[in-house]
Structure 1
Amino acid sequence: MLNIEEIADYLNSITLVDKNVEAYLYDETPKDVAPKPNKNVVVVKPSSVDEISKVVRYANKNRIPIVVRGGGTGLSGGAVPIKPSIVISMEKLNRILEIDTQNLTVTCEAGVTLRALIEAVERVGLSFPPHPGDESATIGGMISTNAGGVRAVKYGVMRNYVLGLEVVLPNGEVLKLGGKVIKNVTGYNLMHLIIGSEGTLCIVTKAIIRILPKPKKNYTLVIPFDGVSDAIESVSRILNVITPLAIEYIEVEAIKYGERVVGKRWVSKDGEAHLMLVIEAKDEDELIEIAEKIEKACKNPLNIFVASSVKEQRDLLEIRSMFYEGLKDEIIDIMDVSIPIAKIPEYLKRCNEVAKNLGLQIITYGHAGDGNVHQHPLKCENGEEKYAKFKKEAFKIAKELGGFITGEHGVGFVKRENLAEFLSQNELELMKGIKKLFDPNGIMNPDKVVN
């Protein structure tokens, strides 16, 4: 048992200690699958990399686990302390240090929120494409999970925008990787090893992020379909014609949950499933031309609705972004399977058959353009038992079709037991070896990703 008072007294000489630990014990992982937090923790709020380094040196010397916390928006229990720990909140490392309009980069601390970064770069006429949904997510957290989101189909994921990192290693040393360059093959790419490592190797404290010129005007299209298969099969057809900014698959049943949160109405309730596309066009003439190509590419679309005004688009995107918020109290879990795009129809068809046989209702939406599907099992009698059977079969189907258990949420705590189903023994041993090399005392986010 850690002597929390003794640790807190010592750390108080280094950095700010917050005695209100309750707010730092949970993330957004559904309660039914979330790990039980260990409340025997010390929460610190460093305001510099030097303070973090001193805290980490102390923790490493005394073999005290460290859990780093960003915005607490994770969905895999990655920021939940499982053992008595020092929780390092990054909220005070929230400065945007430089926007370099010549090199198209922004340098910021890890606690900067997505919202703050977007607003800062847009003020100078530039843009930052990655958008995982919750704008209170921090840049450090997005790097640690290699966050994706709705725009990944065109603009990629977080990894595609990280040019440089400053990190604190588990021994307290500060390491600087990369820089303001697009190309760099100077030795092994340690920076990209750290991206997506979920706080298990080191602590990201600063990043150099690639930004882009502001795109053309955006327009939002909603296309209803009578059947799930027609909607999903249309995705590959559309991608052969155009690469939209986003292409989302939405089951009509999911829409009411987003509407309930924001108090607004979706454009149509026709059909069983919808595709929502965000496209770029310089004007309405180009928009009409693109919309006609999309409609022609689709398989049996019922209609095509174009939201051209800023308000119409904002309302639709707001409803879409609140699906999970509306659902979270009624679901057992949110799944994050990643499937080859052409295999999504088969995956959903087989999964729906499994769910029907189990008497389990699944509500599905997701980033169809990049193959990332979010399935939500609703709570019901014997729901956890039914879901365990469903998840086992769904993961089996995903593996058969060349998919993986997580596309953007990360392994964290809730999926770590499933790693061996998708990775070879050699891969797992290499991952454990990398973990041991970075973190020989096992203090960094223990019991997450790999043991």
Structure 2
Amino acid sequence: MKLDNIISEPSRILQGSRIPEAYSVNEHSEKVNLHAVAYPLNTQEVVDLVKYANQNDLVIITYGANTGLAEATSAFGGELIIDLSKMNQIIDFDLDTLTLVVEPGVTNGEVQQYVESKGYFYPPDPGAKHGSIGGNVATNAGGMRAVKYGTTRDYVRKMEIVLANGDVIETGSVAIKNSSGYNLNHLFIGSEGTLGIITKVYLKVIPLPKFKQSYIAAFPSLDDAAEAVLSILRNGLDITAVEFFERRAIAYSEQLLNKTFPSENGVAYLLMTFDGMHEAVIQEEAQRLEKITHDHYAVEFLVLSEEDSLTAWDLRDNILAGILTISEQEPLDYSVPVNEFVNFFKYTHEVEANSGLNFISFGHAGDGNIHSSILRADLTQDEWQKKKHEILTNLYAYVSEVGGLPSAEHGIGLVKKPYFKQVMSSEYLHYLKQIKMAFDPDNRLNPGKIFD
């Protein structure tokens, strides 16, 4: 079997000099030689490409929208890249089961726009709205609304998956309850392309909330804002999103977008949203929210207009992009128990003071998913690598000590692999490898990612 027997259109099979650098140049500007990049249009083409890889003993890397931050799609050389971006159709919307069936190349933003136009809601809301659903599933993306609605895992009813030998299986069910053997659906979610290739996803949707209102609380210190988050959660507010960031963090996106954040007071902020079917309930919850923030020394509490809300959320979404325009940085997305949220931010202050590097913290405070960026500034490459490794070794050890995990939604990939090995037990890693061996005995699918 030859590649042009599988895909006859030259534009969907790229080899040699026709392969774009986006695939062949990694995050460290190192160029590698690839076997080919293929753009299938359907499951059968994916099956045939996998069988071709088996016949020619090729490694496969599955590609989506390339929004990942853990180098989970980086190539080492000689791979067959299967790019699913052209498998981008919304196949069906079943109103009886509230199930949307999509191909993996459909983006999160397209899903949200489609279902909302019909009066329904797909809650997972990662920062990169142009990220593909296949990639969201592969990393169990969460995003802004996870504190109320959960993560991608909670909205995948069923999947079609091509395995490493070319077999096609279906996992999960559109039935709501399932106690019928191992939950393979959940096993493949978050597996970063190491166990199978997702070719179809059945997504759960829910009725669209009729009302939504956003708020900003400004605080005089990082610690005050962090303490307020814990109090909000302890008091049982049915809050949709609680985003935390510092004044200096939002300044990066202000500069990038040439927009001004609605509040100029304080040094740390909570950007929050309530949604629901009853406006009076939201207003009552907002009164409780305002009192809690004032009890924790908020210097300002704003009820946002629709225009200011769009500006505030756009700026929050672009913090990382703004940082990247200023300095090389290391993006972190650890997850800690919410009761350790305050202590962790105090720890980051210590890390910043001791290292001499800027340590910008922000993230999904309501579920303990903290994003931080360590800025390289003017360090040489050797100095940067040495200091970064020292910081990360200590930081991930601390995360583990307080019961946290090295990644909440970006995945492990290559970036976190050494620290994943550092903090997870050898027994745990052993059984992960056993699972990998069961589904991919030849180590053909995205090898070298997560673990060796």
Q: Could you say whether these structures have the same fold, taking a TM-score greater than 0.5 normalized by the shorter chain as the test?
A: yes
Report the alpha carbon displacement of residue 214 of structure 1 after superposing the two structures with TM: 0.3
Structure 1 residue identity aligned to 2:128: D
Q: 1:194-213: per-residue Cα shift (whole Å, max 9, x none)? A: 11100001100001110000
Q: Is the 8 A contact 1:219 1:280 kept in 2?
A: yes
Q: Is residue 260 of structure 2 the alignment partner of residue 262 of structure 1?
A: no
Q: 1:340 is aligned with what amino acid? A: P
User: Residue 115 in 1 paired to residue 109 in 2?
Assistant: yes
Is the 8 Å Cα contact of residues 68 and 410 (structure 2) preserved in structure 1? yes
Q: Which structure 2 residues correspond to residues 240-319 of structure 1 after superposition, within 5 A?
A: 240-280=235-275, 285-298=280-293, 299-307=296-304, 309-319=305-315
**8 Å Cα contact 1:153/1:243 also seen in 2:** no
Structure 2 residues without counterparts, runs of 5 or longer: none
1:376 is matched by which residue type in structure 2?
S
* Structure 1: gaps spanning 5 or more residues: 1-5
Q: Over aligned residue pairs, what C-alpha RMSD do you find?
A: 2.0
What does residue range 29-428 of structure 1 map to in structure 2 within 5 Å? 31=27, 36=30, 38-239=32-233, 240-280=235-275, 285-298=280-293, 299-307=296-304, 309-329=305-325, 330-380=327-377, 381=379, 382-428=383-429
4+ long deviations beyond 6 Å: none
Deviations 1:317-350 (A, max 9, x none): 1111111111124132101111111111111212
- Measured after TM superposition, the shift of residue 96 of structure 1 is 0.7
Matched-pair contact (CA < 8 Å) for 2:124–2:146: yes
Map Cα deviations across residues 86-127 of structure 1 (whole Å, 9 max, x no partner): 111111211111111121110111111112111111121101
Deviation at 1:41, TM superposition (A): 3.5
1:146–1:159 Cα contact (<8 Å) kept: yes
C-alpha contact (below 8 Å) 2:24/2:34 kept by paired residues: no
Give per-residue Cα distances to partners, 1:284-324, cap 9 Å, x unaligned.
654443222012223111110111x3222111111111111
Matched, 1:25 2:23: yes
Assess if the C-alpha contact under 8 Å between 2:421 and 2:451 holds in 1: no
Question: What is the distance in 1 between the residues matched to 2:80 and 2:368?
Answer: 37
Q: Which amino acid aligns with 2:362?
A: Y
- The one-letter code sitting in structure 1 at the alignment partner of 2:34 is N
> Structure 2: how far apart are the matches of 1:203 and 1:447?
16
Which amino acid in the other structure matches residue 430 of structure 2? Answer: E
Shift of 1:21: 2.1
**1:333 alignment partner, SS class:** strand
CA distance in 2, matches of 1:196, 1:124: 29
Q: Which has the higher contact order (CA 8 A, sep 6+)?
A: 1
Contact 1:244 1:278 in 2 (8 A): yes
What's the CA shift string for 1:135-173, capped at 9, x where partnerless? 111111111111111111000001000110000000011
Partner secondary structure for residue 337 of structure 1: coil
Contact 2:24-2:32 within 8 A present in 1 as well: no
CA distance 1:282–1:128, change in 2 (3 Å): closer
Separation of aligned partners in 1, 2:142 and 2:23: 24
Distance in 2 of aligned mates of 1:26 and 1:141: 19
Asked if 2 retains the 8 angstrom alpha-carbon contact of 1:21 and 1:41, the reply is no
2:448 is aligned with 1:447: yes
- Give yes or no for contact 2:7–2:45 (8 Å, CA) kept in 1: no
Q: Do the aligned partners of 2:103 and 2:200 also contact (CA within 8 Å) in 1? A: yes
* Residues 70 and 416, structure 2, Cα contact 8 Å, conserved in 1: yes
Q: In structure 1, give the amino acid aligned to 2:363.
A: G
Structure 1 Cα separation of the partners of residues 29 and 44 of structure 2: 31
State how far apart, in whole Å, the 2-side matches of 1:415 and 1:7 are: 36
Count of matched residue pairs: 441
What is the letter of the counterpart of residue 426 of structure 2?
Q
Aligned-residue offset at 1:385: 2.6
1:387 Cα offset (Å): 2.0
Whole-angstrom CA distance in 1 between matches of 2:131 and 2:392: 27
| Contact persistence 2:253–2:319 (CA under 8 A) | yes
Q: Aligned residues: percent identity? A: 34
Aligned-partner residue type, residue 313 of structure 1: S
User: Is this contact kept in 2: 1:246–1:279, CA < 8 A?
Assistant: yes
CA distance, structure 2, for counterparts of residue 41 and residue 322 of structure 1: 35
Alpha-carbon shift at residue 61 of structure 1 (Å): 2.5
Contact (CA 8 Å) 2:393, 2:419: kept in 1 or not? Answer: no
Distance in 2 of aligned mates of 1:10 and 1:102: 40
Q: In 2, distance between residues paired with 1:133 and 1:328?
A: 15
| Alpha-carbon distance between aligned partners in 2 of 1:70 and 1:211, rounded to the nearest angstrom | 22
Deviation of residue 249 (structure 1)? 0.8
Q: TM-score, normalised by structure 1?
A: 0.93
CA contact (8 A) 2:226 2:345 kept: no
Deviation at 1:220, TM superposition (A): 1.0
What is the CA deviation profile of residues 172-194 of structure 1, one whole-angstrom value per residue up to 9, with x for unaligned ones? 11111222111111111111111
